[in-house]
Amino acid sequence: MPQARTMAGRCRLLALVVLITFGVVTLLQSLQTTPSIHDIRSSIRGHKFGGPGARRHQSNRVRIKKVTALFGEPNYLYEAAIATHERHNALHGYQMQVLRQRIHASFLAKPAYLMSVLVEELAKPWDERVQWLAWVDPDTLVLNQQVPLDLFIPPSDEEINLIATHDDDGYFNGGVFFLRVDSWSLEFLIQVLAVPLTDRKHHVSLNKDHTALEQIMESQRFRSRVTYQPRLWYNAFDSNKTFEGESGDLMVHLLDLGGDKWARMDKYLGNVTSKINPYEMPLEQTRYGKEVQGFWKRMADSRRILKEAKLKEKGHDGIKEAARRLRFALDFETDNDVVMKDAYGSLLRALYENK
C-alpha cells in the first residue's frame, strides 16, 4: 500500500507539472506583445546606433535567437542596452524576443519565458526554426559588434545542449547562457519549473530563477550535456568601476553596482556609440580565435582519453581515480583551463604508467 500511494503521488505530481507547463506556455505566448525588438528606436536619449556596420549579415551561420525580459517602469538605459543587441542582431542575422509584461512577482520568469519561446520554435519546421536560444539579461551591453555568437556554439560532434558561465564564487551566473532548441531542452525546462513543487528549500532562495536552473543543470540526468565556458568571453562584469575583460571582448554585464549602476551604464553606452569605440576591433584581432579553438580541442581530447581509460581502468586504481577526476572536471569545471589541463595530464600519466 505505501508503494502504491507513492506511485500515485508521483503520477499526480507529473500531471500537475504537465498542466503547469502548458498553462505557462499559453500564458506567455499571449503576453508576447514584442515578438522582436526591431521597433525599438535607433536613438535613445542621445545614444545613437547604426553606421556602416549595421547592415544585416547574410551567411549560412547557426540560426540563433536572443531572449530577454524588460518590464516595469520605463528605463531608457535598459532600452539603450537592448538597442546594442539590436545592432548586433542586424549585423549577424539574429532574431530577438523580449518579455514586456511581468508574469508574477515570485514566479520563475526566466525559465518560463524561455520555455514559451522554445515551444514556439519547436512547433516550426526544422529549416524555419532557430537552432539555439541565447538568454541575455537586459543589463548586458554589446561592446564589440564584430564578435558573432556563433563562435561559442559547439562543433557538430559535441553533444552539448546548454552553455553557461560561473561567477567568481563558482556558482552559475544566468546573465548570458545558450540553450539548444530540441526536446532535451524542453525536458530540462520542465524539470526547472517543477523545482518549487519538489524542493521546499527553494522557496527561501534569493534568486529563484538561477537556483532552480543550477539545481537541474547539475543533476545527474542533465549535467553531461552542460558545459561551462570562460565568463570573460561574453559575460564579463564591471568590478570596482573597471571592466574585467579586455578590448575586443563581446559584452559587459552590469550587475550589483548599487547606485553607480546607471552612471556606469551611461558611460559604456557613450563609448560604444561614439565614432571611436574603444572596445571594438575585428574578430581576428581579439582573443577569441585561439582560446575558443583550444577550449573545444580540450573537450574532444578529454572525451577521447576517457574512452581509452574505460577500457583499462579495471584493476588499476590510479587510472580509475584519474578518470573520475577528469569526468568531474568535464561536468563542472570546463571553464577552468588550469583544472582541465591538470586533470587531463594526470589521466595521461596514469595510462602511461600502467601500460
| 203-221: pLDDT as tens digits | 545 577 888 999 999 999 9
Ranking 41-55, 180-194, 242-256 by mean pLDDT, the lowest is 41-55
Average pLDDT rounded to a whole number, residues 23-38:
44
Structure-block grid coordinates of residue 345: 595530464
- The answer to whether 141 and 248 are in contact (CB under 8 A) is no
pLDDT digits (tens, 9 = 90+) for 264-312: 899 999 999 888 999 999 999 999 999 999 999 999 999 999 999 988 8
Residue 37 has what pLDDT?
35
Cα distance between residue 155 and residue 181, in whole Å: 15
Over the stretch 105-162, which tens digit does the pLDDT of each residue have?
666 788 999 999 999 999 999 999 999 999 999 999 999 999 999 999 999 999 999 9
Average pLDDT, the chain: 84
Cα dihedral: 224, 230, 235, 236 (round 10): 160
pLDDT at 57 over 60: no
pLDDT of residue 38 exceeding 80, the answer is no
Question: In the prediction, which pLDDT does 209 show?
Answer: 83
Q: Which pLDDT score, from 0 to 100, does residue 282 have?
A: 96
Q: Is 209 helix (H, G, I), strand (E, B) or coil?
A: helix
Gap between the Cα atoms of 137 and 255, Å rounded: 10
pLDDT at site 203? 55
Give the end-to-end CA distance of the chain in Å, rounded to a whole number: 55
49's CB contacts (< 8 A; 6+ apart) are: 42, 43, 83, 84, 86, 87, 273
**Count of Cβ atoms closer than 10 Å to residue 242 Cβ:** 8
- In the sheet with 242-243, reading across from the earlier edge strand, the strands are 140-142, 251-253, 236-239, 242-243
